[in-house]
Amino acid sequence: MSETTIFRKIIDREIPADIVYEDDLCLAFNDINPQSPTHVLLIPKKEIPTVNELVEEDQTLMGHLLLVAGKLAGQLGLDGGYRLVINCGRDGGQEVDHIHIHILGGRGMSWPPG
Ligand code: 5GP
């Protein structure tokens, strides 16, 4: 899939975003339409459309993302807990075809999700 997503444009600084973290492998920025007081999107710089396109060589990258998510949650003050979400495909509610982890916090979460 070679279509340029909005997230690629954020990585390339073609469109603005409120960036809260960046390293060689990933970028994190505030969601434009937050669903909780803290709602950060954490994305790999590598373009992977969905979880279904992950390959073995992505294991370290995805592990890195989880480590960063945990550290970021601490830095964001989510001491009472938080939720990490990866939507996959249309039924999963995925709108942007560039893998991303939602870091949601700042309020109590209900279950099951909608
Ligand atoms: P998905 O539904 O694909 O799991 O999540 C996509 C998320 O990207 C949504 O929460 C949506 O609000 C967010 N989003 C879409 N476009 C932009 C944008 O241009 N900037 C930012 N910061 N977030 C965006």
Q: What is the pLDDT along the chain (114 residues), one digit of tens a residue?
A: 457 999 999 999 999 999 999 999 999 999 999 999 999 999 999 999 999 999 999 999 999 999 999 999 999 999 999 999 999 999 999 999 999 999 999 999 999 998
pTM of the model: 0.97
Give the CB-side neighbour count of residue 61, counting CA atoms within 13 A: 20
Q: What is the pLDDT of residue 38?
A: 98
Domain range list for the chain: 6-105
Q: What is the pLDDT of residue 2?
A: 55
User: Shortest CA distance to 17 belongs to which of 33, 1, 6, 29?
Assistant: 29
CATH number listed for the domain at residues 6-105: 3.30.428.10
User: Shortest CA distance to 96 belongs to which of 21, 58, 44?
Assistant: 44
Ligand 1 pocket, mutate which of 32, 51, 84, 87 (most atoms under 8 A from CB): 32
Catalytic residue flag (residue 100): yes
User: Shortest CA distance to 34 belongs to which of 110, 102, 93?
Assistant: 102
Give the CB-side neighbour count of residue 71, counting CA atoms within 13 A: 12
Ligand 1 pocket, mutate which of 95, 99, 100 (most atoms under 8 A from CB): 95
Q: What is the pLDDT of residue 3?
A: 76
